[in-house]
Chain A
Amino acid sequence: MAVAEAGSQPALRRRRLRVDLTTPTLLGLPLAWLGVFFVVPIAIVAAYSFDVYSLFPGPHGFTLRAWHDFLHSSVYLALFWKSVKMSLTVSAIIVLLAYPLAYYLALSGTKRKYVLLLILIAPFLTSYLLRVLAWKVILGNQGVVNTFLFWTGLRSPDHPISQLLYSRFAVMLVLGYIWLPFVALPIFVSLENLDRRLLEAASDLGASRLQAFWRVTLPLSLPGVVAAFLFVFIPTLGEFVTPSLVGGANGYMYGNQIVDLFGTGFPDWETGSVLAIFLLGIVAILTVVFARFLQPRQVVAD
């Protein structure tokens, strides 16, 4: 149900609604909060990456050295690219999986669609750490999958499938699991907003269901699909908890690198800041380029 456009109202009302003296009041507090507790801290990290600021004693001053080292380092950039590939794969797969789910909920005419949607989303709102832990139990050499295979005789107990856990596969599987519920939401919203009459018209004109889908539904739901893709792609780029729990040596991602640079061995916060700001930069570019897909209205049901 779209909000009536302010422009379509008589001039008297328009004047009243257009008066936005209170917009600064409304936005003032949230923006100030974000300004102080979000923008400023990030600026500090950026300053750290240029060595303009540091917590540790020693000589400091503006330098591009850390950035130079990073951009010329094949190792860190290769790691970033690896994480990009993993995120792209996960995002693409779960968007493909989520589309039929959203389609079913929005277009099958089921009476319980919101309850079902809720059941779908609910796991996303429960504890992340523990859902990952549960997967460790499932994927291990003595986990559910392998012991099931032993029991059915498909594999001998001496030869479990080892690559399930502590691998790139494990990371992608668990990340997909975590994000799948959330991804269905924007697709659902765009399908919900689809004007059914268009489909009926297509049908009246002789289109089969498949044709109607291909030429009407899919193109119109594309914004939702793009939004869904971005909403999972962007966070998984910076993921570190899942890789640290199930990734092993192979599943190490860019986010882990940032954590480690800030946490282990010896303080190298400069390099860590560079990696962090680099990631933020990429994310900012994506957000700006795809801004129209990432509006609040696009994402949430109702």
Chain B
Amino acid sequence: MDNHEEIEQRLSRDKLLRLAVAAGGATILGARLDAAQAALAGLGAESGRLQVLDWAGYGNDGGQAMFAAYVKAHPKNKPQFSYMANESDALAKIHAGAKPDVFRPYVGWVKYFATSGLVQPWNPNLIPNFKHLNPFMVKAGQYKGKQYGIPNDWGFDAILYRSDKVTPKARSWGLLFDDRYKGKIAWFDDLEMLTIAGLYLGFDKPWRQTDAQLKKSQELLMKKKKLVRLIWSSETNLWEAFGSGDLWIAYAWPNDWVQMKKKKLKVVYMRPKEKPIAWVGMFMLLKGTPRSRLAHAYVNTWSSARSGKWLEDNYGYGHANTLARPASSDLLKALRLTDPRAVTEPSAHLDRDIPRRALYARMWEEVKASG
């Protein structure tokens, strides 16, 4: 049930204007109807706890600092969390009837969700911190000019390796396929490995590979799978295995390098010549949510420099707010935080929509099942 439509019917035009003036601000007077509606919705119609569908670690299980200011300002609408194991899981849950007000897929899914009919665009006017967000990441959250995703955490996919055990032949993704290090390599559990194979094999459009190209990528992965000790999906798993010496080479995020350095290991975070891939988390707003204004407030808190700094200091991910700076200089370096273009060409390939994602997924499952 779309609350905006309800409100529109209930209030007359001049009431709208009067309340709009009362709400204060030139931004509301003369603004588009939905902005006014959102403001009005906040004047009494929105209630209940904000339903947030997020990854583990971002709710009350450790991420409280990210939204503490929101909780303080809206004690009656505290967030209620359910967990998404990944975007596929979120998609399934929503299709099966779950109604989160906000959820958080990553940048490669923006177009998919934007065209799915499940989400609605945000109104950046209601997010004061929006202006501090990295413009390249903001652009990545847009589709057809509308802001479907509000960027928050981000990082790179690159290669972590033990410099005291490993001598790479080249600064390349090929290190993940190096025959010399059998049993010491870790891949990531995602169809992205096909994209990486495509990058390594030199295809010009790794996210849009042809059938022949995909077959080659898959064959490479299947052939090299016997070198792989672990296909990780949780960082803890990676840290335990890498930290104990089970692994010498791994697909990894910047914070993984920072953590292994903290364990006094000799590690290098290698940016391959084919370029690392950059990922960005995107808050999305469910279509027809009765708590749109609260959702905007929540996302605004998440977008603050203070939350950003906490995220960087505690989870080792970058944050889209350009004012957020971590305490660790290692992390600063690994994330190239001083360069606003860090996530995009020519520094990195920003992860993007895969038109044939279903096919990639199937082929990756086959890689995992093989051998």
Tell me if chains A and B make direct contact, with any CB pair below 8 A. Answer: yes
Q: Is the CB of B246 within 8 A of A140?
A: yes
CB closest chain-A residue, reference B86: A264
Q: Of B89, B191, B230, B370, which is within 8 A of A248 by CB?
A: B230
Complex: how many Å from CA A73 to CA B240? 35
Q: Which residue of A lies closest to B367 (CB)?
A: A75
A80 to chain B, nearest CB (A): 9
The answer to the question of A142 belonging to the interface, with a C-beta cut-off of 8 Å to chain B, is: yes
Q: From DSSP, what is the main secondary structure of chain A's interface residues?
A: loop
Q: With a CB–CB cut-off of 8 A, which chain A residues contact B189? A: 264
Q: Are A78 and B362 in contact (CB under 8 A)?
A: no
Contact of A266 with B357 in the complex, beta carbons under 8 Å: yes
**Complex partner residue of A267 from B92, B183, B360, CB under 8 angstroms:** B92
Q: List chain B residues, Cβ under 8 A from A261.
A: 365
Contact pick for B230, options A55, A141, A249, A265, CB 8 Å: A249
**Once the chains are docked, how many angstroms separate the CA of A262 from the CA of B86?**
11
Cα distance A281–B217 when bound, in Å?
34
Contact of A160 (CB < 8 Å), options: B228, B245, B369: B245
A142-B245, A249-B187 given; A78·B96 CB < 8 A: no
Residue A252, interface by CB 8 Å? yes
Q: Contacts A142-B244, A249-B225, A257-B365 known; A263 to B231 CB distance under 8 Å?
A: no
Q: A259: shortest Cβ distance to chain B, in Å?
A: 10
Q: State which size class the interface on B falls in.
A: 35 or more
Q: Do B190 and A264 have beta carbons less than 8 Å apart?
A: yes
Contact A141 B88 (CB under 8 A): no
Kindly state the separation between the CA atoms of A257 and B369 in the bound complex, as whole angstroms.
Answer: 7
> Does A76 interact with chain B (Cβ within 8 Å)?
yes
A195 contacts chain B at the CB level, 8 A cutoff: no
Q: Is A271 an interface residue (CB 8 A)?
A: yes
- As a 0/1 sequence over residues 331 to 371 of chain B, the CB contacts with chain A under 8 angstroms (1 = contact) are 00000000000000000000000000110111011101111
Q: B241 interface residue, CB < 8 Å from A?
A: yes
How far, in Å, is A95 (CB) from chain B's closest CB?
28
Q: Which of B187, B240, B364, B371 contacts A265 (CB under 8 A)? A: B364
- Kindly state whether residue B74 has any CB partner on chain A within 8 Å: no
Q: Which residue in chain B gives the minimum CB-CB distance to A271?
A: B362
Q: Is the CB of A265 within 8 A of B357?
A: yes
Query: Complex Cα distance A106/B369, Å?
Result: 43
User: Which residue of chain A is the closest to B241 with respect to CB atoms?
Assistant: A166
- Quick one: closest B residue to A167, CB to CB? B229
* A263 and B89 contact, CB distance less than 8 A: yes
Tell me the minimal C-beta distance from A246 to chain B in angstroms. 10
Q: Which residues of B contact A37 (CB under 8 A)?
A: none
Say yes or no: is A162 at the interface (Cβ < 8 Å to chain B). Answer: yes
Assess the A141–B364 pair: CB atoms within 8 A.
no
Whether a CB of chain B sits under 8 angstroms from the CB of A86 is no
Write out, one digit per residue, whether chain A residues 45-65 have a CB within 8 A of any chain B CB (1) or not (0). Answer: 000000000011000000000
B361 near A265 (CB under 8 angstroms)?
yes
B166 at the interface (CB under 8 A from A): no
B window 223-238: CB within 8 A of A:
225, 228-231, 233
- In angstroms, Cα B230 to Cα A140, docked, is 13
Q: A75-B370, A142-B245, A264-B189 are in contact. Are A166 and B229 (CB under 8 A)?
A: yes
How far does the alpha carbon of A6 sit from the alpha carbon of B96 in the complex, in Å? Answer: 51
A79 interface residue per 8 A CB criterion: yes
Q: Mark A266-281, 1 if CB is under 8 A from B, else 0.
A: 1111010000000000
Closest residue of chain A to B97 (Cβ to Cβ) is A55
Interface centre among A136, A162, A264 (most CB of B within 10 A): A264
Q: List A contacts of B244 (CB < 8 A).
A: 140-143
Which 3 A/B pairs are nearest by Cβ-Cβ distance? Answer: A265-B361, A266-B361, A79-B369
12 other A-B residue contacts (CB within 8 Å) besides A162-B229, A166-B230, A252-B368: A75-B370, A140-B246, A141-B244, A163-B183, A166-B241, A248-B228, A249-B230, A262-B92, A263-B85, A264-B89, A265-B357, A266-B360
Mark B residues whose CB is within 8 Å of A: 85-86, 88-89, 91-92, 95-96, 183, 187, 189-191, 225, 228-231, 233, 240-241, 244-246, 357-358, 360-362, 364-366, 368-371
Q: Can you list 29 pairs linking A and B with CB atoms under 8 Å apart? A: A55-B92, A73-B366, A75-B366, A75-B369, A75-B370, A78-B369, A79-B370, A136-B240, A140-B240, A140-B244, A140-B246, A141-B244, A141-B245, A141-B246, A143-B244, A162-B246, A165-B246, A249-B229, A256-B368, A264-B361, A265-B190, A265-B360, A265-B361, A266-B358, A267-B91, A268-B358, A268-B362, A269-B92, A271-B365
